[in-house]
Structure 1
Amino acid sequence: MGEHYFAGRPQARSRPGTVDLVLPDLHFRLATDRGMFSPDRVDLGTRVLLDSVPPPPPEGDLLDLGCGYGPIALTMAARSPQAIVWGVDVNERALECGRGNAQAAGLDNVRFGLEQDVPAATRFAAIWSNPPIRIGKPALHALLDTWLSRLVPGGRAHLVVQKNLGSDSLQRRLESRGWPTERLTSRAGYRVLAVTNPEKDTP
């Protein structure tokens, strides 16, 4: 089996490239490379997510979980310039591309890094993610449990998942774990799930 995009240090020989992310309000030319997720084009699921989500909170800490080379994180950062956006991934080559893309876009409110680079006390006003479904259900569930628990009370996560890769079963699983989850949209074989932290702010 070939190397997975979720390898920490990809062994595939470097072959730099670029892709364009064109949204109604933004246009980024993004550097990519081999050994990372969707290096030849912005993944359709990512596009569905970015076309569907409401604006991110204007302030606070925001998270792109499984950020790759950064299309989601950079969109969050551009739409919420007063927020701090964390792009988290295990793939160090992708993270390096993300840092370069943020610099090229003039966005200094993005931090790309590994899980351990995010301070443990950080809580997120929003999480946007095209999660790495292919790591397998146990690993995926553990990943989502870890990060959803760091949403602020009332904070929301938006996840895009292919229908044929288990979006509906994931929605049921999240709800069974106490995370109210609704289907925001369904398009091109993808579902966008909105997950809310049901906790209330304490006075």
Structure 2
Amino acid sequence: MTGDHYFTSEPTVAAQPREVEFSVAGRDYTLASAGGVFSADRLDPGTAVLLRKAELPTATTGGDLLDVGSGFGPISCVLATTAPAATVWAVDVNARARALTTENARRLGAADRVRAVAPDEVPAEVTFAQIWSNPPIRIGKAELHELLRRWLPRLAPDGAAWLVVARHLGGDSLHRWLVDEGWQVERHASQKGYRVLRVTR
């Protein structure tokens, strides 16, 4: 057994490169993945629900988009594909995940528009038209709340954040917490035990 988690900054588990295939909005994706990153062998079911049920950006969407906890980059790659005028910030503490996201953006011809960075590398002045996340629930509730308090305030005044959370992992309690924090929260969709939340100011 290894002590690594997908939220380890420098995974020591063997990379064992692999590929993950999935389809979103009529487009097929084949992305590089590896051991030591979140959901290394498949598109995570929660991420799949998020990408299927949330309102994806379009060709007219500009500005900066944020993917919090990007993993090997499935959300970032979909955002970069559907919103070619936008810049996507793919934030992850895991260096291997960031490298994979960069490689996958290059495969899609979007290397100039996807910036895979550590959390502290996002310039303080950048605000986001959209924030997307399948947040890392397993880091613990206090850490999760700290994560959301860090990034949600950087939403543009008319922006929206899209989150997916499994109901059995606290999707409904997170909804209530976000409301208590002063956010407008809509349960946009529910599917396969997951809640898709739309969060606005």
Residue 154 of structure 1: CA displacement? 2.0
The DSSP-based 3-state class of the residue aligned with 2:156 is strand
Q: Deviations over 1:146-188 (max 9, x none)?
A: 1000001021100000000000000000000100111010000
The DSSP-based 3-state class of the residue aligned with 1:149 is helix
The DSSP-based 3-state class of the residue aligned with 1:184 is strand
Quick one: distance in 2 between partners of 1:167 and 1:30? 28
Q: Deviations over 1:62-114 (max 9, x none)?
A: 00000001000111111110010100000000110110000011113111110
* Residue pair 1:155, 1:196 contacting (<8 A) in 2 also: yes
Match 1:88 to one of 87, 91, 98: 91
The DSSP-based 3-state class of the residue aligned with 2:129 is strand
Kindly tell me the number of residue pairs found equivalent between the two proteins.
Answer: 197
Match 1:166 to one of 150, 164, 170: 170
Residue 116 of structure 1: CA displacement? 1.6
| Corresponding letter in the other structure for 1:131 | P
Residue 25 of structure 1: CA displacement? 2.8
* Alignment match, 2:142: 138
Match 1:103 to one of 102, 106, 121: 106
Residue 24 of structure 1: CA displacement? 2.9
* Residue pair 2:24, 2:78 contacting (<8 A) in 1 also: no
Quick one: distance in 1 between partners of 2:48 and 2:26? 13
Q: Does the alignment pair 1:19 with 2:23?
A: no
Residue 54 of structure 1: CA displacement? 1.0
5 Å-filtered alignment, 1:44-193, equals 44-56=45-57, 58-107=61-110, 108-193=112-197
* Residue pair 1:8, 1:92 contacting (<8 A) in 2 also: yes
Residue 28 of structure 1: CA displacement? 1.3
* Alignment match, 1:41: 42
Give the CA RMSD over aligned residues.
Answer: 1.0
| Corresponding letter in the other structure for 1:178 | G
Quick one: distance in 2 between partners of 1:8 and 1:148? 22
| Corresponding letter in the other structure for 2:8 | A
The DSSP-based 3-state class of the residue aligned with 2:115 is strand
* Residue pair 1:21, 1:71 contacting (<8 A) in 2 also: no
Q: Deviations over 1:28-66 (max 9, x none)?
A: 111011011001100010000000111326101000000
Structure 1, unmatched stretches of 5+, are 198-203
| Corresponding letter in the other structure for 2:44 | D
Quick one: distance in 2 between partners of 1:167 and 1:114? 26
Residue 2 of structure 1: CA displacement? 3.8
Structure 2, unmatched stretches of 5+, are none
Q: TM-score, normalised by structure 1?
A: 0.94
Q: Deviations over 1:112-150 (max 9, x none)?
A: 110122111000000010000000000000000110000
